[in-house]
Structures are given as C-alpha cells and as structure tokens.
C-alpha cells in the first residue's frame, strides 16, 4: 500500500491517500493542543504511544462486534484505515464528573455519576465545539436519521462498558472519553473512527487517583509522556 498525498491535517494526526481510494493512512503526530488550540506544544513520542494504545483498544472493540475504521497498524506512527465520512459530532461518555461538565453545571469535581452520561458536541473549532442536543443533531442533519443516531448512542454505551472493564483490570478508572463515528466510503456502514488514547480519555489510577491522560498537559502537571507510557504498559 503506497502512501500518496496529504488529504487532511488535524491537530494531532495527518491523513494521507493511498493507491486504494477507500483506504487512507492515519499518521500520529507529537503535537498536543488544548483549550481550542490556545495551548500548543510538542510532546516527543506521544504519537508513537497513541498509535499503539489506540490500535490495542480499537482491535478489542472490533472483537466485541463494533466495527471500526482500523485495518492495521503499519509502523510506529501510521495505521491503515478505512476512509469515512465523519459525522461532525463528538460523542462524550462520562462516568465521573470532571472537566467541562463541572464548569458548565457547577457539579463537584470527581462526583461519581449514577449511570454513564452521554453528551454531544458539534465539531466546529470556530464555535468552540458547543454542546448540542439530539434534536440539534437531527434538525441540522449532522447525523442523517434518528435510527442511526440511536445506533451510535447504543455503541457508545457498549464501548464504555467494555473499556471500563478493560481499564479496571489494570487499575485505571475510565473517567470520561470522546468518540467519533463515520460512514465507510466502501459500504456506508457506521464505523468507529478517529482514535482512543490518553488524548481522548480521562484515566485515573485507581489507588492514587493520579491522572494518566492529557489533563497532565492541560493543567501543566508534568511527566506527560511517562503517564502515557504507563497506560501503554498496563
Ligand atoms: N475530548 C476530546 N476532544 C475534544 C473534547 C473533549 O478528546 O475536543 C475528551 C476529553 O479528553 C475528555 C472528554 O472528552 O476525556 C470530556 O472532555 P470535556 O468535555 O470535559 O472537555 P474539556 O474539559 O477537555 O474541555
């Protein structure tokens, strides 16, 4: 599979074409951004770790019967993936209140939620990814019909159940995370896309509550790469 031209460059990844029009290469950069691009830095080795961690998690999700865009990891920084039309919605699942939820609604940081909570935000950097409702998503056609949206929400909760168990097994609390979905350009099937890594999840050590995720960058806590390595190792 030969790598072609750059198709798209995002904050943490680059997408390249291949000789197959339905397959693309996802390249993991070391760049980190937070607060809608206001904070930027390079974290040496982050891309390599996220590539491996995301490969591991997506392969496991595939095994529980949820299709993902991942075909295979190619090397230290690249994955071969199915090209998708991404729905412009971030699906956020929360088990413990923290981050924007606590700021927006004045909820105590660390409050354990009675059951997993799902939130949606409209992917739009200019607007700062605003929180939206199911009704907004359908009204503005960000997801084409209610059945598809319900199917995606169902997948989000299944993925949460699975990932909570997986992380619990290595003494990590899955606090919250973000998912993105798209339609395969091959058969229009819904696929889990993007990445799942310490960039897109909040992960706390069970005994010490130490943060093992991107909050170390957001909050200047230091030892970012060591935390990502710790997640990869466990
Ligand atoms: N998240 C993400 N990308 C985003 C926004 C959020 O991966 O553009 C993840 C974030 O890492 C956290 C979860 O989604 O695990 C919930 O984030 P929150 O809404 O609390 O946003 P933040 O506090 O990061 O602004």
pLDDT of residue 38: 94
CB 23 within 8 A of CB 32: no
Top mutation candidate among 110, 200, 227 for ligand 1, by most atoms within 8 Å of CB: 200
CB 32 within 8 A of CB 42: yes
Tell the residue nearest (CA) to atom 21 of ligand 1: 100
Pocket test for ligand 1, best of 36, 98, 99, 163 (most atoms within 8 A of CB): 99
In angstroms, what CA-CA distances link 212 with 84, 167, 225?
30, 12, 9
**153 Cα to the center of ligand 1, angstroms:** 17
pLDDT tens for the 234 residues of the chain, in order: 789 999 999 999 999 999 999 999 999 999 999 998 999 999 999 999 999 999 999 999 999 999 999 999 999 999 999 999 999 999 999 999 999 999 999 999 999 999 999 999 999 999 999 999 999 999 999 999 999 999 999 999 999 999 999 999 999 999 999 999 999 999 999 999 999 999 999 999 999 999 999 999 999 999 999 999 999 999
Residue in the structure block whose two tokens are 């799902």: 118
DSSP for 100-147 reads: HHHHHH-PPTTPEEEEEEEEEEE--GGGT--EE-HHHHHHTTSSS-HH
Q: Is 23 exposed, middle or buried (0-12, 13-18, 19+ CB in 10 A)?
A: middle
pTM across the whole model = 0.97
């Amino acid at each position: 599979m030969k790598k072609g031209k750059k198709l798209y460059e995002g904050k943490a990844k680059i997408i390249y074409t291949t000789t197959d029009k339905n397959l693309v290469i996802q390249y993991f950069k070391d760049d980190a951004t937070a607060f809608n691009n206001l904070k930027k830095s390079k974290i040496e080795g982050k891309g390599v770790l996220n590539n491996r961690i995301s490969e591991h998690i997506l392969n496991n999700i595939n095994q529980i019967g949820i299709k993902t865009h991942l075909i295979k990891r190619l090397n230290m920084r690249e994955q071969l993936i199915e090209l998708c039309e991404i729905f412009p919605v971030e699906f956020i699942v929360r088990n413990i209140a923290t981050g924007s939820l606590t700021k927006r609604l004045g909820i105590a940081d660390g409050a354990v939620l009675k059951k997993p909570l799902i939130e949606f935000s409209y992917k739009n950097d200019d607007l700062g990814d605003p929180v939206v409702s199911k009704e907004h998503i359908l009204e503005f056609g960000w997801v084409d019909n209610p059945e598809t949206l319900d199917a995606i929400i169902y997948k989000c909760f299944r993925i949460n159940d699975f990932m909570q168990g997986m992380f619990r097994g290595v003494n990590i609390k899955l606090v919250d995370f973000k998912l993105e979905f798209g339609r395969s350009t091959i058969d229009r099937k819904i696929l889990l896309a993007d990445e799942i890594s310490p960039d897109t999840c909040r992960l706390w050590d069970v005994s010490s509550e130490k943060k093992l995720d991107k909050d170390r960058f957001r909050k200047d806590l230091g030892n970012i790469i060591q935390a990502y390595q710790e997640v990869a190792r466990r």
